[in-house]
Amino acid sequence: MTAHTMSGSGVARRLLGWSLRDLRQQARLKVKAAAAALEWSEPKLWRIETGQTTVRGLDVEAMCSLYGAPPGLAQALAGLARSTRTQGWWHPHGEAVPGAFDVYARLEEQACLIQGFEPSQIPALLRTAPYAHALITSSHPDAGTQQIEELVHECTARQMLVTRASTPLEVTLILGEAVLRCPTGGAQVMGGQLRHLATLAVLPNLRLQVVPFAAGMHPGLRAGPFTLLRFPSHTGAVPDETTVYVPGLTGDLYLDAPGDVQQYEAAYTAISRCALDERASQDLLLMAARELEQ
């Protein structure tokens, strides 16, 4: 196989690598045994599972055959392998995802630093259960009670990434003031969500800013919502790759071309300069909560 290390879509590489690793572990095969059966070196298999290289469809098929993957999943993973050779990735809503996992949530789990701007709602990572319930109910009007509760639990469980004692996820988030003023779920639910944010904001790994209405026209209005996900290097040093997540009505866009990443990094810096500092942002959160709860 001709390997182009760290080229092509980082998102597709990671998704494919994690899926193949999960299949190997489900088959109860160690890396050494799997590599021997495939007649590969162990480093080659490790590079594939950690998303460091593009992969041929034929190699994916061989791995799926060895691991006993269902035919439909094997076909989907072979198709995903083609995406590892292109920059960026567009994931339409409703498209079957290999391994049946949430694409963004899987990336979030592996990131070491997240920087984001959100002009309209609290990110899933920081939602309370009542706030999450209100949003999920609104976006899934045909879902049953059990499904709603499962989605709420999946959402709120993600907060463990930020609050865990060992190597918590670093998060720097900028909100538009409109997020604070929209009483999602009602005044009491929104007030509780804002107080929860103010409580989380004291964590050393969480930096929270708010862009006030008084800032007027600012770069975030043009950029819209986005998240920068930074991943640790495979040597354990500083982050070596960044993916930009841009949500959309019909699908989500994942960008990793250096030029695209640099533009969003510049946008994040510019928006941050228009925002209140952390203390003033926390004061605004609590003031908005009190106004809602009156």
**What is the domain-level CATH number for residue 222?**
3.30.870
pLDDT confidence of residue 114 = 96
Boundary (domain end) residue, out of 54, 86, 118: 86
238 and 271 in one domain? yes
177 and 65 in one domain? no
pLDDT confidence of residue 100 = 43
Boundary (domain end) residue, out of 55, 86, 117: 86
281 and 177 in one domain? yes
Using CA atoms, how far apart are residues 59 and 48, in angstroms rounded to an integer?
10
57 and 111 in one domain? no
In a domain, 131, yes or no: no
159 and 65 in one domain? no
Give the up-direction half-sphere exposure of residue 126: CA atoms within 13 A in the CB hemisphere.
29
In a domain, 97, yes or no: no
In a domain, 95, yes or no: no
Whole-prediction pTM value? 0.82
Question: pLDDT tens digits, the chain, 294 residues: what are they?
Answer: 333 333 456 778 888 888 899 999 999 999 999 999 999 999 999 999 988 888 888 999 999 999 999 888 888 888 778 777 666 666 666 554 544 447 788 889 889 999 999 999 999 999 999 999 999 999 888 889 999 999 999 999 999 999 999 999 999 999 999 999 999 999 999 999 999 999 999 999 999 999 999 999 999 999 999 999 998 876 554 456 889 999 888 778 888 888 999 999 999 999 999 999 999 999 999 999 999 988
211 and 70 in one domain? no
CATH number at residue 75: 1.10.260.40
Strand pairing class (170-176; 206-211): parallel
Q: Whole domain around residue 81: which residue ranges?
A: 10-86
Spatial CA neighbour of 117 closest among 8, 31, 222: 222
Q: How many domains, the chain?
A: 2
Burial 107-132 (b: 16+ CB within 10 A, else e): bbeebebbbbbbbebbbbbbbbbbbb
208 and 244 in one domain? yes
118 and 71 in one domain? no
What is the phi/psi pair of residue 43, to 5°? -60, -35
257 and 188 in one domain? yes
278's tokens: 């952390």
192 and 161 in one domain? yes
In a domain, 134, yes or no: no
